[in-house]
């Protein structure tokens, strides 16, 4: 399988972008809905270092499904296969990554559903302290098309479009602070997570 590169940003921004097959996205949305009907989802939460996990819809308003990194259901495996191709291409674009210690998806993957007016509304980043210290890269795929419902990257002065299948990979640090574009007209669904350095339990 060969993925189409999106080329929505120049390389110095360190945000890679590719399109994965739309069927993979549709299957993930159906899988999310089945799990939601079974009661496996929860209100979206956010954390800050040294603070408890909280629900605050003024900051993050979503319905989340946590997916184990060991999950082997067909919908997840199909996505992981596509995601690996994106990662391989990212490493080709930034070959220094091939010299670092091994990393993989070690934490839960998250499928997040945002109703109209929902989103992660505050700028945030993905490595902010000891709990997230091992994170190496962030990934995210839009699972449906949403006009004016993409992601704002603060310092890159860039908003990625929410296009079904568009997959982004970027560094987890404060340099890539980002937030949802909140759509008042459409629902949005994404899948997201992190590549992290392996520890003894994950080697």
Q: In the structure, what pLDDT confidence band is assigned to residue 7 with cuts at 50, 70 and 90?
A: confident
Q: Which two tokens stand for residue 45?
A: 């939460």
pLDDT for residue 51 = 59
Locate the domains of the chain by residue range: 4-202
Quote the Cα angle for 150-153-154, to 5°: 135
| CB within 8 Å of 4: residues ≥ 6 apart | 18, 19
The stretch 5-19 carries a mean pLDDT of 93
Question: In angstroms, rounded to a whole number, what is the distance separating the alpha carbons of residues 88 and 86?
Answer: 5
| Residues 157-186 pLDDT 10s | 999 999 999 999 999 999 999 999 999 999
70: Cβ contacts below 8 Å, ≥ 6 apart: none
Taking only the tens place, the pLDDT of each residue in 118-158 is 999 999 999 998 889 999 999 999 999 999 999 999 999 99
pLDDT of residue 201: 54
* Position 93 pLDDT exceeds 70: yes
- Specify the pLDDT at position 202: 53
pLDDT class for 116, splitting at 50, 70, 90? very high
* Residue 38 CA, distance from chain mean position: 23
> Which fold, 4-202?
Jelly Rolls (2.60.120)
With beta carbons less than 8 A apart as the criterion, state whether 80 and 38 touch.
no
Would the pLDDT of 200 be above 70?
no
- In three-state secondary structure terms, 171 is coil
Any idea what the Cα angle at residue 18 is, between residues 175 and 195, rounded to 5°?
A: 50
Q: For position 55, what pLDDT does the model report?
A: 79
Question: Is beta strand 135-142 parallel, antiparallel or unpaired with respect to 166-170?
Answer: antiparallel
């Amino acid at each position: 399988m060969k993925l189409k590169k999106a080329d929505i940003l120049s390389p110095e921004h360190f945000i890679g972008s590719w399109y994965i097959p739309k069927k993979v996205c549709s299957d993930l949305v159906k899988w999310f809905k089945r799990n939601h009907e079974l009661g496996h989802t929860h209100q979206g939460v956010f954390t800050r270092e040294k603070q408890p996990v909280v629900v605050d819809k003024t900051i993050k308003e979503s319905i989340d499904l946590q997916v184990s990194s060991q999950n082997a259901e067909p919908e997840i495996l199909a996505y992981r296969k596509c995601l690996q191709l994106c990662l391989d291409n990212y490493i080709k674009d930034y070959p220094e990554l091939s010299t670092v210690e091994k990393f993989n998806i070690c934490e839960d993957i998250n499928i997040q559903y945002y109703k109209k007016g929902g989103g992660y509304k505050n700028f945030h980043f993905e490595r902010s302290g000891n709990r997230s210290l091992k994170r190496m890269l962030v990934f995210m795929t839009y699972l449906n098309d949403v006009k004016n419902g993409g992601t704002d990257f603060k310092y890159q002065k860039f908003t990625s479009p929410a296009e079904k299948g568009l997959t982004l990979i970027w560094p987890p640090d404060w340099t890539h602070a980002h937030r949802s574009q909140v759509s008042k007209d459409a629902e949005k669904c994404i899948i997201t997570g992190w590549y992290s350095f392996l520890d003894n339990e994950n080697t």
